[in-house]
Amino acid sequence: MDKSISENGETTADGSIRGYDSLHQLLSANLKPELYQEVSRLLLGSNCGRSLEQIVLPDSAKALSSKHDFDLQAVSFSADKEQMRKPRVVRVGLIQNSIALPTTAPFSDQKRGIFEKLKPMIDAAGAAGVNILCLQEAWTMPFAFCTREKKWCEFAEPVNGESTKFLQELAKKYNMVIVSPILERDMDHGEVLWNTAVIIGNNGNIIGKHRKNHIPRVGDFNESTYYMEGDTGHPVFETVFGKIAVNICYGRHHPLNWLAFGLNGAEIVFNPSATVGELSEPMWPVEARNAAIANSYFVGSINRVGTEVFPNAFTSGDGKPQHNDFGHFYGSSYFSSPDASCTPSLSRCRDGLMISDMDLNLCRQYKDKWGFRMTARYEVYADLLGEYIKPDFKPQVVSDPMLHKNSS
């Protein structure tokens, strides 16, 4: 395998391999077909006992991918045929992208450049018949929240602001629901800022919004300089194509956050994110896939791409010297399903559009198969949580009496 890597991929300073869009492609290039099938089954799971099937996309979508140089992948999840219900197949898309201009460019030019970059990618999704499309966290701007410089607040906008108007036209044109994560400026409450996902309906209407529940305070990602924990709870948005929810970025590290969207009836949960390789990459393939299994819904995980360099150096407060970037946003967007299968990921280094057909009947089928909702002990968890939040809480720990005897 080392020989193939040296011929086909370029090893970077951080040990990653450029030239391969995913581990899936790397394995397929270096393993015998029968061994590859078995490795793929173990890594990606099997959907209803079979490998995931590729979707044939229209030439117009593929032409846009080639012309504008973005990764384009399309995979289908199926469900078992039922006697009492028809299949409920929905086509879903994820877009990951790098910024369009250097962070030193005028802010209006940066924002316009991102709009221009995403337009052909959204057009490709529309040409491919995508029903629901989700963009990455804070897609309208560089991910400047950890610089702690307040000038980046200029990118904030109301829920019905410029980016929403831009997407409303496309949503209506393509009969597509679009999830648009932005930096929100709440004009009704003293212009407070929030990290917000706006849900735009397929008729171009605004269905609602969700604000990020969990704010990181780890390494460079100390985002509470700009916004605090959201106040919208765990809403599920019922659209013509299914019930969707948005677990924004750092919320994926909190199992109860995933659980709450499931309890409210979500069938697809999106996780628009901005995270870098050194911090979280080993966790990335695990958390969303586990959430899909545990909560019997589909998950779409989106991460931005590229290294964003800022004009002024900043520090993390973790002992590292000052620096001008957060590290490499490693893309790798993918879908997970309730049956533990998942798609190959998009590129670590390129813009990309991931498309998946998913039969939402699979959600109920796996609730029935595993019985997680029936076997969960919510009343026990509720009692524990009710006690835990009290100031006088004591953990339920039973100590071996010999421990104290020996120590004395």
Judgement on whether residues 148 and 170 belong to the same structural domain of the protein: yes
Judgement on whether residues 140 and 280 belong to the same structural domain of the protein: yes
> Token pair for residue 348?
């670590």
Total number of domains constituting the chain: 2
How many Å apart are CA 145 and CA 153, to the nearest integer?
9
User: Any idea which of 19-23, 93-97, 138-142, 373-377 has the lowest mean pLDDT?
Assistant: 19-23
pLDDT one-digit tens code per residue, 168-214: 999 999 999 999 999 999 999 999 999 999 999 999 999 999 999 99
Q: Assess whether pLDDT exceeds 60 at residue 1.
A: no
How many Å apart are CA 77 and CA 366, to the nearest integer?
13
Instruction: Please name which of 171, 134, 168 lies closest in space to residue 298, comparing C-alpha atoms.
Output: 134
> Token pair for residue 250?
């750092």
pLDDT band (50, 70, 90) for residue 34: confident
- Write down the pLDDT at residue 19: 40
Backbone angles phi, psi at 398, to 5 degrees: -105, 110
* 249 part of the active site: yes
CB-based contact 324:310 (threshold 8 Å) = yes
Judgement on whether residues 66 and 31 belong to the same structural domain of the protein: no
- φ/ψ region of 37 (left if φ > 0, alpha if ψ in -120 to 50, else beta) reads alpha
Q: What is the mean pLDDT of residues 25-30?
A: 72
Q: What is the mean pLDDT of the chain?
A: 92
Q: How many CA atoms lie within 13 A of 396 on its CB side?
A: 6
Backbone angles phi, psi at 321, to 5 degrees: -65, 160
Judgement on whether residues 262 and 318 belong to the same structural domain of the protein: yes
Given the residues 111, 117, 137, 287, the one annotated as active site: 137
Find tokens 């219900």 and name the residue: 85
List the domain range (segments joined by +) for residue 37.
11-44
Judgement on whether residues 26 and 69 belong to the same structural domain of the protein: no
Q: Report the SS3 class of residue 233.
A: coil
Judgement on whether residues 15 and 145 belong to the same structural domain of the protein: no
Instruction: Please name which of 29, 42, 75, 166 lies closest in space to residue 355, comparing C-alpha atoms.
Output: 75
- Write down the pLDDT at residue 342: 95
Domain assignment present for 4: no
* 137 part of the active site: yes
CB atoms within 10 A of CB 317: 11
pLDDT one-digit tens code per residue, 48-76: 888 899 999 999 999 999 999 999 999 99
Judgement on whether residues 22 and 98 belong to the same structural domain of the protein: no
Judgement on whether residues 60 and 39 belong to the same structural domain of the protein: no
Q: Assess whether pLDDT exceeds 50 at residue 92.
A: yes
How many Å apart are CA 131 and CA 209, to the nearest integer?
19
Kindly report the CATH number assigned to the domain that includes residue 132. 3.60.110.10
> CB-based burial of residue 352 (10 Å sphere; 0-12 exposed, 13-18 middle, 19+ buried)?
buried
The three-point CA angle 230-136-308 to 5° equals 105
Given the residues 212, 223, 267, 342, the one annotated as active site: 212
How many Å apart are CA 105 and CA 115, to the nearest integer?
15
Q: What percentage of residues in the chain have a pLDDT greater than 70?
A: 92
Instruction: Please name which of 212, 210, 294 lies closest in space to residue 259, comparing C-alpha atoms.
Output: 294
Distances (CA, A) of 305 to 2, 204, 281: 26, 28, 13
The angle, 0 to 180 degrees and rounded to 10, between the axes of the packed helices 23-30 and 33-44 is 160
Judgement on whether residues 20 and 118 belong to the same structural domain of the protein: no
Judgement on whether residues 29 and 82 belong to the same structural domain of the protein: no
Given the residues 146, 249, 342, 363, the one annotated as active site: 249
Judgement on whether residues 259 and 353 belong to the same structural domain of the protein: yes
* 157 part of the active site: no
> Token pair for residue 297?
């819904």
- Write down the pLDDT at residue 139: 98
Domain assignment present for 125: yes
Domain assignment present for 284: yes
Domain assignment present for 281: yes
Instruction: Please name which of 22, 29, 18 lies closest in space to residue 354, comparing C-alpha atoms.
Output: 22
Find tokens 């990290």 and name the residue: 195
Handedness of CA 336, 355, 277, 103 (dihedral sign): negative
